[in-house]
C-alpha cells in the first residue's frame, strides 16, 4: 500500500510539474507576425464615437460609426520576415447623427449615396478609399512602414491640402479623413509585439500624437502587457491587454487653454501565436476635456474600436 501511495504521489508530482512547465512555456512565447507570400487575411475594422460638447452653454450631442472591410494580400516576404502587404478597402459603412451634420447612413454596397450636407464634405474622401489598395510593410514585431496611398486617394488629399482643408470629414481629433488619420488607422490595425518573450513582467508601448493648431499637442500612449492564454474556437490564443494614457502639451502662447479632466482607456487583443496573426481586438476609451478661450467648451467622448478576422454581415448597417 505504501509503495502504491509513493508511486501515486510521484506520478501526481510529475503531472503537476508537467503542467507548470507547459504553463511557463505558454507564458514565455515569443510572439511574431508570420506572413507567407500569396496569403490573404480579411479584417473588419470598426470605430464608434458618441459624446457631448457643451459650447457656451449649448449642448451638442453626436453619434458616429464607421466600419471598414479590408483584405490584406501578402505580395512578398523579405529575409527576416518583413512582409510587403497590399491592403484593399472592399466596403465602407458609416452612420452618424449630429445637429451639425444631420442624420446619415451610408453603405458602399448601396450605389445610391446619401443626400446629406456632411456627405458633400466627406464623400469624395470615402469614394477615393473604396476599392483602392494601400501598400505597406509589416515587420514580424508589427511595425508598419513604407505606407503608399493609392493614386486616387493621393489626388483627393492633395486637393484637400491645397484648399486649406486639412480636417475634412469628422472624427475625434478632427483627422478621421486626412492623410495623418488614415495612416494612423492603418498602423492601429496591426498589433505591435515585444522583442522579448511575453510574460508577466514584460510591457511595451506605442504612441500617437494629434496636433491642435495654436493650442497644443495631444498624445495617446498605449502600454501593452501579457494577460494570459485563452481557448477560443479550438485555438490557443495569447491575450494582450492595453491601457491608454492621454496627455496634453500646450503650444507656446496658445489661443486657448485645454485640460484633460478625466480619462480611461482599455483594450484586449487576441493573437494566434501558431498562425502568427491577430484574431480579434476590442477597446473602449472615455475622456473629458475643458477648453477655455474666446469661447468656453467642454467635451465628453466615448470611443469604441474593434478589429475582427473575417467579413462584416451582408446586411447593410443602416438596416440593422
Question: 130 and 108 in contact (C-beta within 8 Å)?
Answer: yes
* Alpha helices (H) in 39-190, listed in sequence order: 117-129, 151-162, 179-188
CA distances from 255 to 40, 232, 252, 263, 311 (A): 48, 51, 9, 24, 45
Residue 62, exposed/middle/buried by CB under 10 A (0-12, 13-18, 19+)? middle
pTM, entire model: 0.85
Instruction: Specify whether the backbone of 142 is left (phi greater than 0), alpha (psi in -120 to 50) or beta.
Output: left
Domain ranges of the chain: 36-319
CA distance 211 to 188: 18
36-319 maps to which CATH number? 2.30.230
- pLDDT computed for residue 32 by the predictor: 97
Separation in Å, CA 171 to CA 48, 72, 186, 189, 302: 10, 25, 16, 17, 12
Alpha helices in 170-305 (DSSP H): 179-188
d(CA 92, CA 130): 7
Residue 6 has a pLDDT of 47
E strands, 149-276, in order? 203-212, 216-232, 235-250, 257-272
Residues written for the chain: 320
Q: What angle do CA 284, 290, 296 make, to 5 degrees?
A: 140
**Nearest Cα residue to 234 out of 278, 197, 272:** 272
What is the predicted pLDDT for the residue at 173?
A: 37
Q: What is the pLDDT of residue 20?
A: 42
Tell me how far apart the alpha carbons of residues 97 and 105 are, in angstroms, rounded to a whole number: 9
Measured torsion, CA atoms of residues 230, 235, 239, 240, in degrees rounded to the nearest 10: 180
Closest listed residue to residue 190, CA positions, set 246, 248, 137: 137
- Taking alpha carbons only, the member of 313, 281, 304 closest to residue 65 is 304
Give the separation between CA 226 and CA 269, rounded to whole angstroms.
Answer: 10
Per-residue pLDDT of the chain in tens (320 residues, 90 and over written 9) = 544 444 444 544 544 444 444 444 444 679 999 999 999 999 999 999 999 999 888 899 999 999 999 999 999 999 999 999 999 999 999 999 988 778 899 999 987 888 888 888 888 999 999 999 999 999 999 999 999 999 999 999 988 777 655 443 333 334 567 889 899 999 999 999 999 998 889 999 999 999 888 999 999 999 999 999 999 988 999 999 999 999 999 999 999 999 999 999 999 999 999 999 999 999 999 999 999 987 889 999 999 999 999 999 986 544 44
Amino acid at each position: 500500500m505504501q509503495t502504491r501511495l509513493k508511486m501515486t504521489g510521484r506520478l501526481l508530482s510529475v503531472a503537476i510539474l508537467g503542467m507548470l512547465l507547459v504553463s511557463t512555456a505558454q507564458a514565455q512565447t515569443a510572439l511574431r507576425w508570420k506572413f507567407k507570400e500569396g496569403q490573404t487575411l480579411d479584417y473588419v475594422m470598426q470605430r464608434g464615437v458618441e459624446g457631448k460638447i457643451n459650447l457656451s452653454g449649448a449642448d451638442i450631442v453626436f453619434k458616429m460609426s464607421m466600419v471598414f472591410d479590408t483584405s490584406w494580400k501578402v505580395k512578398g516576404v523579405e529575409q527576416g520576415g518583413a512582409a510587403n502587404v497590399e491592403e484593399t478597402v472592399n466596403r465602407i459603412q458609416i452612420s452618424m447623427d449630429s445637429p451639425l451634420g444631420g442624420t446619415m447612413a451610408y453603405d458602399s454596397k448601396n450605389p445610391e449615396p446619401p443626400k446629406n450636407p456632411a456627405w458633400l464634405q466627406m464623400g469624395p474622401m470615402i469614394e477615393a478609399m473604396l476599392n483602392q489598395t494601400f501598400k505597406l510593410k509589416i515587420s514580424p514585431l508589427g511595425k508598419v512602414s513604407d505606407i503608399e496611398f493609392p493614386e486616387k486617394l493621393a489626388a483627393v488629399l492633395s486637393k484637400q491640402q491645397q484648399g486649406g482643408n486639412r480636417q475634412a470629414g469628422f472624427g475625434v481629433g478632427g483627422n478621421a479623413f486626412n492623410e495623418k488619420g488614415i495612416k494612423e488607422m492603418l498602423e492601429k490595425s496591426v498589433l505591435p509585439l515585444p522583442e522579448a518573450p511575453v510574460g508577466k513582467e514584460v510591457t511595451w508601448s506605442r504612441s500617437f500624437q494629434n496636433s491642435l493648431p495654436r493650442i497644443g499637442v495631444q498624445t495617446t500612449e498605449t502600454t501593452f502587457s501579457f494577460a494570459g492564454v485563452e481557448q477560443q474556437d479550438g485555438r490557443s490564443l495569447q491575450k494582450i491587454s492595453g491601457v491608454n494614457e492621454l496627455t496634453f502639451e500646450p503650444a507656446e502662447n496658445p489661443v486657448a487653454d485645454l485640460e484633460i479632466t478625466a480619462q480611461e482607456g482599455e483594450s484586449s487583443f487576441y493573437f494566434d501565436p501558431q498562425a502568427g496573426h491577430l484574431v480579434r481586438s476590442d477597446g473602449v476609451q472615455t475622456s473629458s476635456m475643458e477648453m477655455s478661450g474666446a469661447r468656453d467648451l467642454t467635451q465628453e467622448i466615448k470611443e469604441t474600436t474593434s478589429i475582427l478576422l473575417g467579413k462584416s454581415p451582408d446586411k447593410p448597417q443602416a438596416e440593422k
